[in-house]
Amino acid sequence: MRIDVVSIFPEYLDALDLSLVGKARRDGLLDLRMHDLRAWTSDRHRTVDDTPFGGGAGMVMRPDVWGRALDDVLGPDVLAGESTGRTVLLVPTPSGERLTQRLVEDLARADRLVLACGRYEGIDARVAEHYTEDVETVEVREISLGDYVLNGGEVAALVVVEAVARLLPGVLGNPESLTEESHGRGEGGALLEYPVYTKPAEWSGRRAPEVLLSGHHGNVARWRRDQALERTVRRRPDMISALDPQELDRADRAILARQGWFVPAGASAPVPVRIRPGRPDEAQALSDLAAATFPLACPPELGADDITAFIAEHLSPARTTEYLTDTDHYRVQVAQAPSGLVGYTLVVLPRTPDEPPYADDVAALVPDRPAAELSKCYVYPEYQGTGVAGALLGAAAAQAAAVQIDGQPLRTLWLGTNADNWRAQASYRKQGFATAGPRTFRVGDQLMDDVVMVLDLTSHRDDVRQTTPPPHGRS
């Protein structure tokens, strides 16, 4: 590849003689040429700028000087349209498109790059317009390193040359570095690079992660992938939202779920979901959610009339408003996605420490009290199986673990689920619930066979994530 850099300070680019770029030049892998813009001036002061039309501060670089310089650097073949290679004219400017690794990869596939390093208030806009509209064999790209202003384009030129040169064949000794590093196209999509360590194994009281010292290549690869995902979530969530779900395996999705990112069915990218307490103004949305999802968990023998009656009695906006406002007796956690609410849980608190749960058949299965009921856990179908339900259950359990009834902390969280709903039971077991025994549950005129499952809340005491102030003396 040939790269030409035109600047009034060509010596600024002397650093490119060092390290890998300098070696690539000496090995003939990169043809890098510097040009002094002042060589194309025509007055004794070697003037390259003038005052801006319309007034204003600063000076603007002249189009006639730049035109002569770029015509000579590009050469007659390019100007006449006789060049068959791809030539890209790059103009660094704060108003340009953001330079990304994807753009760098594209530029590395060009045959020639010409960098026009402006100074002062920039280059007369007609220069970019001319080479865009009048020279068909030149591709013009105005680029920016980021949302800040530099004194000139030379720093950007240094960045472009180094970023592009290291992608050229033969420049890097280990080509695998290109896929493993930050923004590389490794397996599973572009991520920030995982943290790296070297000898000594222990330094300043800190030991390198044991997995890296284990010699188990599979575990090392998984650890690095997990670290890259977690680091990218924390520092560059925009990159997470650009990942292709098809390139995420089950372990990837589990890591993302623990960081609050989920992949709903049919989504083109992971979605951030926040778990938080519900608000009274969300009663209608939660009622609609429950009405849409409750029938999905019902056995086929349950009639439509009974389902409708149950929804009207227990899942109406009025009842849901009660759940959201009466925090003495209910606790609601919701899952908030950018598109709206996608799930919620309802915990029913006992009024006294010894209050038996629900009915006699449940009371016998839940002897440890105070005990609260996980009455509802509803998630829209596209988010089922993504981990949202698990996140909701974890938040509900942690919040319940912080509740005290007349000074006594809750000891048990119990729930009932249909005996034939093996998928729901498996999900609850993953969250620590254990099967206590059977019960019957009435929906309309039908008696349903349920399974009672219990969770020992003492295991959640150290994981309390209470997000609301203690209401009316309860904490």
Angle 354-356-357 from CA coordinates, rounded to 5°: 130
Q: Under CATH, which architecture does the 273-463 domain have?
A: 3-Layer(aba) Sandwich (3.40)
User: Which are the contacts of 123, defined by CB distance < 8 A and separation ≥ 6?
Assistant: 60, 61, 63, 66, 91, 93, 116
Q: Where are the CATH 3.40.1280.10 domain residues in the chain?
A: 2-173
pTM: 0.77
Residue 181 is predicted with a pLDDT of 54
Residue 18 is predicted with a pLDDT of 87
User: Which are the contacts of 372, defined by CB distance < 8 A and separation ≥ 6?
Assistant: 347, 348, 349, 350, 400, 403, 410, 412, 413, 414
Per-residue pLDDT tens digits of the chain, which is 475 residues long: 999 999 999 999 999 998 888 899 999 899 999 999 999 999 999 999 999 999 888 999 999 999 999 999 999 999 998 888 999 999 999 999 999 999 999 999 999 999 999 999 999 999 999 999 999 999 999 999 999 999 999 999 999 999 999 999 888 855 555 555 555 555 445 899 999 999 999 999 999 999 999 999 999 999 999 999 999 999 999 999 999 999 999 999 999 999 999 999 999 999 999 999 999 999 999 999 999 999 988 877 778 888 899 899 999 999 999 999 999 999 999 999 999 999 999 999 999 999 987 777 899 999 999 999 999 999 999 999 999 999 999 999 999 999 999 999 999 999 999 898 898 999 999 999 999 999 987 776 777 789 999 999 987 665 544 333 333 333 3
Check: CATH 3.40.1280.10 for 2-173? yes
Q: Where are the CATH 3.40.630.30 domain residues in the chain?
A: 273-463
Residue 223 is predicted with a pLDDT of 95
Which of 446, 379, 448 is closest to 419 using CA atoms? 448
Which of 48, 9, 31 is closest to 154 using CA atoms? 9
Residue 300 is predicted with a pLDDT of 78
Which of 54, 38, 58, 36 is closest to 46 using CA atoms? 38
* CA–CA dist 99, 97 (Å, integer): 6
* CA–CA dist 145, 157 (Å, integer): 10
Q: Where are the CATH 1.10.1270.20 domain residues in the chain?
A: 202-262
Residue 234 backbone dihedrals phi, psi, to 5 degrees: -70, -40
CATH topology assigned to domain 202-262 = Trp Operon Repressor; Chain A (1.10.1270)
* CA–CA dist 79, 324 (Å, integer): 71
